[in-house]
Structures are given as structure tokens and as C-alpha cells.
Amino acid sequence: MKLSFSTNAFVRFSVPEAIGIIAKTGYSGVEILADVPHLYPFSTTGPELDEVAAALKKNRIEAANINANTAVGYYGAKFWEPLFEPSLANPDRDARRWRVE
């Protein structure tokens, strides 16, 4: 079995940087986020795709899949902070309770 990790965890890095970090941790595959701030389909350029392909080759890692959740690009930056809230990891007890109920 081959394990992969998502660039979604590295939104403060470029896709090529995220690929490098993920490869250095030992994963054999990478899930690439097709959303802002990574490869949003409606703004990604050919040269950006070339950089991603080069990073995959340089780091000897495969693209396992494309995460096509384009919520941030579609809804805008105001959507970013509450994207996964409320979560079970939220320090606010009421928010966690709401999630369970």
C-alpha cells in the first residue's frame, strides 16, 4: 500500500513547496488541492502546472489524486476561517456540542 498526503495541509506554501515537504516526510503520493490558494481551476496557468509537474518529478512522488473541493475559490476568502467549523477539536465546548448534536 502507498500512502499519500494532501497539500491542503500546507496552504501557506506553494504547491511545489508543499510537494517537497510531503515527499521529504516519506509519503509516496500527494493529493493536490484544486482550490485557492493552490491550483484553483479558473486561475491556474500553464506555467504553474509545469512547476507542479517539475516538483513531482524532482521529488520522485506521484500525484495520487486531485482534491476538487473548490469551496474557497468559489465562495471567496470570507469563507476560509469557518470552513471546517465547528469541529470536534474546537476549544469551545458549545461549538463541539453543536457538532455532535
Rounded (10°) CA dihedral 44, 46, 51, 55: 90
* Domains identified in the chain, total number: 2
Closest CA to 80 of 38, 30, 36, 32: 36
Closest CA to 7 of 74, 58, 52: 52
Mean pLDDT by 10 residues, the chain (101 residues): 93 96 98 93 95 98 91 63 66 78 71
Same domain, 90 and 41: no
* Residue-number span of the structural domain to which 11 is assigned: 4-69
pLDDT of residue 91: 82
Give pTM, 2 decimals.
0.74
pLDDT of residue 80: 46
Same domain, 26 and 44: yes
Cα-to-chain-centroid distance, residue 48: 16
What are 69's three cell numbers?
A: 473541493
pLDDT of residue 92: 81
